[in-house]
Structure 1
Amino acid sequence: MSDTAHPTAADTTGTGGDTGGDDITSRISTFVTDRFPQAELTPTQDIFALGYINSLFAMELVMFVERAFAVTIPNEELSIDNFRTVESMSGLVGRLRPAVAAG
């Protein structure tokens, strides 16, 4: 298996004034479409409704999000709704990342 979807250290630091929401969305979308190239995926597309996702890939999604964005997903956030769409995963990352822009 290839680990080409893993970010560089610079991608996960969370430094800078911008949360990088577009980058987060793009990277999550790329991760999913790399696994399922036949999927036509939009940020609001329910990836579970596409029929490609099984429990193993759901765990891969959790691990990808944690590694790629340097976050730890607490048990209470391990809800299918947080992983149903690229947009919901991006929102989860935004909530879990340290609030570097908060003042």
Structure 2
Amino acid sequence: MTEDAREQIRRFVAEHANGVLADDDEELFGTGLVNSLFAVQLIMWIERRFGVHADGADLDFANFATIAAIDSFVRRKREGTTSPAGETGGRV
């Protein structure tokens, strides 16, 4: 994805995090920047904005934990590939 796409993701997150602009690798949920209820809004926005669909197997916090992880998730979905092998995390 382009840097512009990461900036779009960053701005959307900031809108729900009192204007805080997260770094690429900053934990969004683990640090309390956003809460777990935001996950549903985030997924819906990602689907609409980037034209991808998050199915049941995609609903893993690891896919949405950081700006970089979201960027990677969207790229994989656009390429038609699945989550990286061995990646495990909590369900959204």
Same fold (TM over 0.5): yes
Alignment partner of 1:88 is 2:69: yes
Aligned to 2:31: 50
Correspondence 1:63 to 2:41: no
What is the distance in 2 between the residues matched to 1:57 and 1:68?
A: 16
Relative contact order: is structure 1 or structure 2 higher (C-alpha 8 Å, sep ≥ 6)?
1
Q: Give secondary structure in 2 for the equivalent of 1:97.
A: helix
1-structure distance, mates of 2:79, 2:21 = 32
Moved over 4 A (4+): none
- Tell me the TM-score normalised to structure 2 length: 0.77
Deviation, structure 1 residue 38: 4.6
Alignment gaps of 5+ in structure 1: 1-19
Q: Work out the number of aligned pairs and report it.
A: 80
How far the C-alpha of 1:85 sits from its partner, in A, is 0.1
Provide the residue aligned with 2:56 in structure 1.
75
Measure, in 2, the Cα distance between the counterparts of 1:93 and 1:53. Answer: 20
AA of the residue aligned to 1:75: G
- Tell me which residue corresponds to 1:10: none
Alpha-carbon RMSD across the aligned residues, in angstroms, is 1.7
Cα-to-partner distance string for 1:9-67 (whole Å, 9 max, x where unaligned) = xxxxxxxxxxx431221111000011213534101000012214223211001101101
Distance 2:34 2:67 in 1: 13
